[in-house]
Structure 1
C-alpha cells in the first residue's frame, strides 16, 4: 500500500514539474496568484437576483461600497466575490 502511495506521489510531482516548466516561465517559487480565495461561481438565478438588487440599490441612492456590503451579507459571500461580479456585470452593460 505504501509503495503505491509513494509511486502516486512521485507521478504527481513529475506532472507538477512538467506543468511548471511548460507553462510557468521564470521562478515559480516567487509566483503569486491573485484572487485564489475569490469564488467566481454564481448560479443564473443568483446573477439575475444580483442585477435586480444592484439596480434597485442604485435607484435608492446607495453607494457602491454600501451595496457591496449589503449584497455580500444577503448572498452570504465575501465582499470580494461581489466586487468581481460587479465588474463582470458592469463590463457586460447589465448594471449601471
Structure 2
C-alpha cells in the first residue's frame, strides 16, 4: 500500500468529502479520495435511466433549450476515477469512449473538465495547454 492510500484509509468519509470539495488539494488527490469513498460505500444506487428521467422531468418544468440533449454528461464518481486512471495510463479519448461504451463527445466534455481541474503545480502550464488543446 502506498503512502497516499494509507493516508486516505485513515480519513473519515466526512474528511474525504472535504478533500474532494477543496480547491486546496491537487486534482489527483481529490480523485483518489473519491476512489476511497467508492471503495467504502460502493456505487450510488441511481443508474443512467434514472438520471435521464430526472433530466426529462426538469425539462418539462422548465421551458429551456438544452444543447446536446441526446448526450449524457453525467458521470458517477467511480467512472471519473476510472477515467483518471485511463488518462494516466495513456489511453486515447476514443479508447476510453469504447471502454465506457459512451459517445466520444460525452468523453470529450469529461476530458475538458479534467483538464480544467488539473493543477499546474505538477506540470508546466504549457504542457497542460498542449495536452488539453488550450
TM-score interval, normalised by the smaller of the two chains: 0.5 to 0.7
5+ long unaligned stretches in structure 2? 1-59, 120-127
Q: 1:85 aligns with which of 110, 115, 129?
A: 110
Following the alignment from structure 2 to structure 1, what is the Cα–Cα distance between the partners of residues 85 and 111?
12
CA–CA separation in structure 1 for the residues paired with 2:79 and 2:66: 27
Q: 1:33 to 1:42 in 2, by over 3 A?
A: closer
2:89 maps to what in 1? Answer: 56
TM-score by length of 1: 0.53
Name which of 74, 78, 82 aligns with 2:99. 74
Q: Which runs of 5+ in 1 are unaligned?
A: 1-15, 25-31
Ranges of 4+ aligned residues in structure 1 off by more than 6 Å: none
The CA RMSD measured in Å over matched residues stands at 2.7
Relative to the length of structure 2, the TM-score reads 0.39
